[in-house]
Amino acid sequence: MGKAAELLGVSPDTVRRWADAGRLATLRTRGGHRRINGASLAEFAASQAAGHQPSSIVSESARNRFTGLVTRVVRDTVMAQVEIQAGPFRVVSLLSREAADELDLAPGVLAVASVKATNVVVELPAERETERTAT
């Protein structure tokens, strides 16, 4: 729940309330802990961010990193388009299909978009949890 809250940009209590209200599907572990399927969380994050308008920019940096969930991957023979929902922000990257395949990018995978100038590099964080599941 904590990791999902961090990715959604809200408190763990908010995620619990959404789950209790049926807005966000969870699974129970044998120990009774709630887990959220990564693909479901990605879909929820995208729906929450629809129509969000960012506030005015007061400062910027030359390099930004956005941790989020992959919400969509479109592959052709040479290239792949990867969409990441990082809180209220949607980041789209074009990369080689080979890179997308090597990273095993799919909806629900936790990824980091590193933005510098006009290039977006997709990375996987070191703390990657069990595949396609966020707590």
Q: Token digits for 128? A: 């990657």
Q: 108's torsion region: left (phi>0), alpha (psi -120 to 50) or beta? A: left
pTM of the model: 0.60
Give per-residue pLDDT as tens, 9-55: 888 999 999 999 999 999 989 998 899 998 889 888 888 876 665 55
For residue 76, pLDDT beyond 90: yes
Instruction: With beta carbons less than 8 A apart as the criterion, state whether 83 and 92 touch.
Output: yes
Class of domain 63-134: mainly beta
Give per-residue pLDDT as tens, 95-133: 999 999 999 999 999 998 888 766 677 888 876 654 455
Instruction: With beta carbons less than 8 A apart as the criterion, state whether 73 and 82 touch.
Output: yes
**pLDDT computed for residue 62 by the predictor:** 43
* Residue ranges of domains in the chain: 63-134
Q: Token digits for 64? A: 């930004």
Question: How confident is residue 67, by pLDDT bands cut at 50, 70 and 90?
Answer: confident
Please, what is the Cα angle at 64 between 5 and 76, to 5 degrees?
85
SS3 23: coil
Q: Is 105 exposed, middle or buried (0-12, 13-18, 19+ CB in 10 A)?
A: buried
The four Cα atoms 19, 47, 100, 103 give a dihedral, to 10 degrees, of -20
